[in-house]
A and B are shown apart, each in its own frame.
Chain A
Amino acid sequence: MSVVAHLPHRTLSLADEEASSPPAMELTGRRRMSAAERSLAETIYQEFRADPRHEEFVLGCLNCGECTTGCPAARFYDFSPREMLQIAANGDATTLWDALQEKIWSCCQCYTCNMRCRFGNDIAGIISVMRELSVRHGVESTRRTLAPFGRSLTLLMTVGTQVSSDMIQPDFFRDWGPFATGSDKAWDVSPEIMRKAIPIDVLQTTRSAWEVSVQTSLELFRIYEETGVLDMLRGLDPDLTEMLVDIIEERREEFREARETHRARLETMRGPVATFQG
């Protein structure tokens, strides 16, 4: 059957389209979607349109392209914020699904598009909504995209800082040159000593950006539990999530023990401990 014959019948159900061949869309070079993918795409699309932020962030578009003007990603990827807004406003389940595969991850979240937009759209924001949905539904391409972030995620979830100095390993950051870790090899000084040479005690750690107190990290984790972030992460990486839960359980235990050890001192404490008085 010719493609043209399909044209007046664009209201075909998904099943019909599956049965007939070839669906018009595939002629444009799309990869054929499996039934499971189609159904997931449809679910995500429904959730996307139902998200209250959709109405708030996507207002309309004159296609002026000012968003793309300042977009860093548009210069290096097949990506434009104008296209993303068009997909958000006018796309269907399939176009949204396509955008989730790669495009949403091109965005730098610099917010230049938002500042430029004369219509008042929140383009960076709606891209984040798309990203959230693909994380929550564990979209395969998103899993792959986020695979290298296990270490940062662990830090962020447990102590709430993104990078630690022991993550900046010369092997991984070769392109950053010989000084990326703060010292010249010729100096013959360990990373620990380099941290000691920073004149701020809470920064003298290599495992986190700064020392975060146990209570603070427990409060943070509680926020993640209460706001559904942990559940969201489970959709993406169940193993990592279980590991995080274990780490936090240990820290809770540590906290309880410290309470016993320091009980007497705690009762006499008044005010912040370390105050600099100029």
Chain B
Amino acid sequence: MLSASEIRKVMEERTQHQKGTGKKVVDVREEMERLEEKGELLIHRIRPENRPVPMQTLFGWTKRIPTDRLWHHKSCGQCGNIPGYPSALLWIMNETGRTYLNEPHQTSCTAWNYHGTATSNPVALAAVAARNFHRAYETDHFPLIHCGTSFGDYKEMRKLLVENADVRHKVRAILRKMGRDLVLPEEIVHYSEWVQAMAPEIVARKKFDLGPVVATVHEPCHYYKMIPEDAIYDDRVYGGQRPAVPTGILLALGARVADYSTWYDCCGFGFRHILSEREFSRSFANLRKIRPMVEEAHADVAITSDTGCVTTLDKSQWIGKAHGQAYMLPVLADVQLAALAMGAHPYKIVQVHWHAAPVDRLLEKMGIDGAAAKAEFLEYLQALKSGRAPELLHTPHEEIEQYFAINKGQVLPEEGTGASPPTTEPPAGVGRALP
């Protein structure tokens, strides 16, 4: 086994991973700074108010993870299939006193449109990314990306916008027509990185023990296989040889993390496959992921950190019964398990009822009274049915926000009538105006 100092040496060597060749992978953030100098874009900076926590990336570069004043970039599949994922995240933010904006003024990254059906193109993807980045910027809240694919796509798009002047100019022209401009965040941050950064505070609020729980981790492909240099690694997690998230929070919470032979494999989501080639998705998920997790690692729960992965791994299992493979291994996002450990309501907050594989046994192992929680929830459903107002995690949006993404000083675009002038006044303290 590697000693800590040996691991550090490897991490150090990885920093100079292309020693001698001079073909070192470029840190796109450095070029981004130069472009800002030249007035070609603005950087949405992490400020002290964002209470950043430093982490290490694959090559040992520092990545600062903002933990406060965040702009939730929700995931399109997450909210449709597994809403407990964003609600658990928002709940933990409330519990730990973090502020955020969760707006209707956000599109998904639309990368599904590209990776699933190819009915888009990189310029469009880059423009969508920049549009959402600008919205976060003008609200002075730092974007936090919920989805693995959005995270991967935004890393790619930031790189594309930095490296390709032609795309940059095209996108900027489009943004200006809608009263926006080109802003790129200093870091592209995945929510699981936030969870890792918040681990000490989460652990401090732990109410239920994960000690008896064996967890297997599915690492979302787009978290670390797209632009690998921007994923975070920690030498305490598999000797820095696998991404630090979402394994890190499980270890911090005291769960037993078990390895299995196909940990490197994708979940079988495949974008279009999950909808129109389901025989593939479910076979892959069951045979290549769930079975080894159960048979090799004897897992109580599979933990991952992406929308598509939770959906595929969870929903694909039920049909396994047809082949005598009734594994029904619970599949949760890291943040859902963390919220459960912190005492979140399994139904009202973690929304476990959206999951196809039941979590009852897991709750029992953690010492959570699942039956009582379910009874409570059913009662709540009846109350909603009879017209009671729903319980919410943050103040509801006003009606006017169904229409307008409004902000200080912003000139409303004249949709359908042509261009409107760009924002002249950046939000206070965020940055400077573009020339």
Contact = CB atoms under 8 A, between A and B. Distances in A.
Q: Is the pairing of A and B real?
A: yes
Contacts of A213: 103-105, 401-405
Interface string B233-270: 00000000000000000000000000000001110111
Nearest to B406: A269
With most chain A CB atoms within 10 A of its CB, the pick from B83, B380, B391 is B83
Interface stretch (B41-49, B115-123, B199-207): B115-123
B431 interface: no
A110 interface: yes
Contact of A200 (B75, B356, B393): B393
Given A201-B396, A271-B407, A196 B384 contact: yes
A275 B225 contact: no
A265 B402 CA distance: 14
Interface string A126-166: 00100110110000000001101100110011011111110
Given A76-B283, A183-B353, A278-B98, A149 B275 contact: yes
A256 B75 CA distance: 29
Contact of B81 (A111, A163, A216): A163
Contacts of A217: 107
A278 B198 CA distance: 15
A168 B266 contact: no
B304 interface: no
Contact of B381 (A189, A258, A270, A278): A189
A96 interface: no
With most chain A CB atoms within 10 A of its CB, the pick from B119, B266, B390 is B119
Contact of B270 (A108, A222, A232): A108
A144 B126 CA distance: 28
Contacts of B116: 109, 149, 152, 162
A200 B90 contact: yes
A77 B398 CA distance: 50
Contacts of B269: 108, 110
Contacts of A247: none
B351 A200 contact: no
Interface residues of A, number: 101
A160 B110 contact: yes
B59 interface: no
A73 B403 contact: no
B194 interface: no
A167 B121 CA distance: 25
Given A218-B415, A255-B415, A274-B103, A163 B393 contact: no
B416 interface: yes
25 contacts: A108-B269, A108-B273, A109-B115, A110-B221, A114-B226, A128-B118, A152-B275, A175-B318, A176-B319, A176-B356, A180-B356, A183-B353, A196-B384, A199-B87, A200-B87, A209-B77, A216-B107, A218-B415, A219-B131, A223-B124, A224-B124, A232-B121, A258-B403, A269-B400, A276-B395
Interface of B: 74-81, 83, 86-87, 90-91, 93-94, 96-108, 110, 112-121, 123-124, 127-128, 131, 135, 139, 141, 152, 170, 174, 177-178, 180, 221-222, 224-226, 228, 264-266, 268-273, 275-276, 278, 280, 282-284, 288, 315-316, 318-319, 347-349, 351, 353-356, 358, 377-378, 380-381, 384-385, 390-398, 400-408, 412-413, 415-416
Given A175-B278, A180-B356, A203-B83, 6 more contacts: A159-B107, A193-B384, A197-B351, A200-B83, A200-B86, A201-B397
